[in-house]
Structure formats: structure tokens, C-alpha cells
Amino acid sequence: MFGKFSPASWRVLRAAEQECRNHNQYYVGAEHLMVALLEERDPQVLHDLDGNGIDVRELHAEVRSTLGAGEERLWEGILVTPRIRKIISLAEAHAEGRNVEPADLLAALRAEGGSLAAEILRRAGHRNTQASVE
């Protein structure tokens, strides 16, 4: 895991871990990853979201609001959830042998599909698809 990651993807992973700490949570989940992806402001990620009619600020606010706060505790380390492990694996497959980029992480988060972050992303795309039809 975490074999071939670009510097930008490492920044996203470190930012996701920091989100955990900021919210007194002991695990890296898909929502932490999504917030980190949005805050990294990678041009490919922004292009993908914009191409799907998704407002990055609205998406960021909605995902961030789901994080809540954990309880005060001593930091013994941060766990990587099985879902994040699956997303990482999907991102590596999506990258097809090249370094994993933030856009690969976004594609993998979408492909995994079972997280609250993926659901919020689907709803954001669906809302904007409906708005353009009306």
C-alpha cells in the first residue's frame, strides 16, 4: 500500500490524516480524504468536478459538515480504515503503473462508492444534472 504516490497525493494523504487530528478522530476515513482532496486544489480534480457541474465550495462545506468531532484522547496513532485501503488499491489500479495522482484518488473514491463522501459526491453531481435539465 502507498507504493507509487506522487508528491501531490502524499500531500492529500497527510492532509487527510491532519483532518483526523483536527476533529479528534483516530481513523482516516473517506470523508477526511475527500476534504483533503478538495483542499489540495489539484487542477485535474477541480477540472473533473467542474466538468460534472459540481461546485467545489458547496461540496467541501457539505463533506466537512459530516466530520463532527471525536472525543479527547491521547494520540497513539491514526488507523487507516478498510474502506481507505480499498480506495488506495483502486487508485493504484486506476493509475495503471504510473504514480497515483489526486485525480486517481478521486476516481477511486467514486468507484468504491460506499462511503458517505461518495454519496455526497453523487448527490452533488445529480443535483447539478437535474438543474441543467430544468
User: Which CATH number do you get for residue 39?
Assistant: 1.10.1780.10
Among residues 105, 80, 110, the alpha carbon closest in space to that of 6 is found at 105
What integer pLDDT is reported at residue 78 of this predicted model?
74
| CB-count exposure of residue 77 (10 Å: 0-12, 13-18, 19+) | exposed
**36 within domain boundaries:** yes
In a domain, 33, yes or no: yes
Residue-level pLDDT at 71:
67
Domain-located, residue 41: yes
Residue 116: CB atoms within 10 A of its CB come to 15
Number of folded domains that form the chain: 1
Between helix 56-67 and helix 116-133 the angle, nearest 10°, is: 150
pLDDT for 67-112, tens place per residue? Answer: 877 666 665 677 788 899 999 999 999 999 889 999 999 999 999 9
Contact in structure between 30 and 118 (CB atoms under 8 Å): yes
| Distance of alpha carbon 47 from alpha carbon 103, whole angstroms | 9
Residue at 24 is within a domain: yes
Q: Tell me how far the alpha carbon of residue 98 is from its chain's centroid.
A: 20
Assigned domain for 1 exists: no
Please report the pLDDT score of residue 26 as a whole number. Answer: 79
Task: For residue 3, give the C-alpha cell.
Answer: 507504493
pLDDT of residue 80: 81
Domain with 125 in it:
7-133
pLDDT of residue 130 exceeding 80: no
In a domain, 2, yes or no: no
